Amino acid sequence: MTIPYDDFKRRFKLLASKRQDLVVNTLSNIFTMRLIGNKTHGDLAEIGIAEFINQFMYDFKSIHVGKDLFRAKKHEEDIVIINELSQAEFPVSLKAYSNGPLQLSTDRESKMFPFLEAQGKTIVGQKEISRIFAAEAFANFSNINVMPLIYDEKSKRCNILVFDHDKAKRETAKILCVGRGESITGKSKGRKHPIYTFLDAHDHYICEVRYGDAAANALQRGLWTHTQHAAPFFDSLTDGWIDYTPHLALVKLFSLALNATEQGHTAANVILQQDLDQLKSAK
């Protein structure tokens, strides 16, 4: 059986390989938003990628869930994608992070860390590891569809890196607690909060579950990984790093739009759609 998100990822990679210019253009626009504010690009990435799907991925349509629906969400989704051929519908969580630590799940109910804590400081052996992933606390480990837009601002490059949860489950050989004040390597500064780190058979880093107490904030809990340290466990939808260019005219467009009337917005939308139609017809 084809998993809907896996099918979407294959189709996105195919489009990116044939029309990388479309991906570069949209990601350049999204990361240009960092000129407005450090967090602005994350929110605008949601509507930008949703519209990218609607404009360029002909067998799919996407709906931006919207912040006003946040409290009613059953998943950690930002957009919902619908395969118009199979009618399969699935949520996707969009992340716009710099190259480095990446949160995959907030673990809103704080189940993962307390469960691991009850198992002891070190968990090894195929049977024990399988039992961890089969537990109810880890039921969503592979069920959250995350699409991370990763950027390296200094080098002006970006990548769409999707974590391979299934490979992580297959290759985890050890789960090790790194306590408060400790570090994995012994060289870095000790941790403020404990984590459980997942390692492969060669002690290579895969991912981690952070401190799960209710007092912890969103950055101190949940499932995390690292795009540099866990590179073998990521699949690039853009087939590697691509260069992006800030579009300064876009910042001017936003400043004008915020002062223009709805009539002006409507007229501008017609011009922008004509531009998109030309992009679609380009070879």
57 is written with which tokens? 């991925």
Report the first-to-last Cα separation within the chain, whole angstroms.
34
Q: Is the pLDDT of residue 187 over 60?
A: no
28-42 pLDDT, tens digit per residue, is 999 999 999 888 898
State the DSSP H helix or E strand holding residue 46, giving kind and residue range, or none if neither. Answer: helix 40-56
- Classify strands 89-98 and 146-152 as parallel, antiparallel or unpaired: parallel
pLDDT tens digits for range 125-153: 999 999 999 999 999 898 889 999 999 99
Residue 113 Ramachandran class (φ > 0 left, ψ -120 to 50 alpha, else beta): alpha
pTM of the model: 0.90
Strand bridging mode 234-236 / 157-163: antiparallel
- Sorting pLDDT into bands at 50, 70 and 90, what band is 85? very high
> What is the DSSP pairing of strand 195-199 with strand 174-178?
antiparallel
250 has pLDDT over 60: yes
Cα(243)–Cα(25) distance, integer angstroms: 10
Count of alpha carbons within 13 angstroms of residue 82, beta-carbon side: 8
C-alpha–C-alpha distance, residues 84 and 188, integer Å: 50
Q: What percent of the chain has pLDDT over 90?
A: 78
Question: In this structure, what token pair is assigned to residue 49?
Answer: 């990628």
Q: How far apart are CA 256 and CA 29, in angstroms?
A: 16
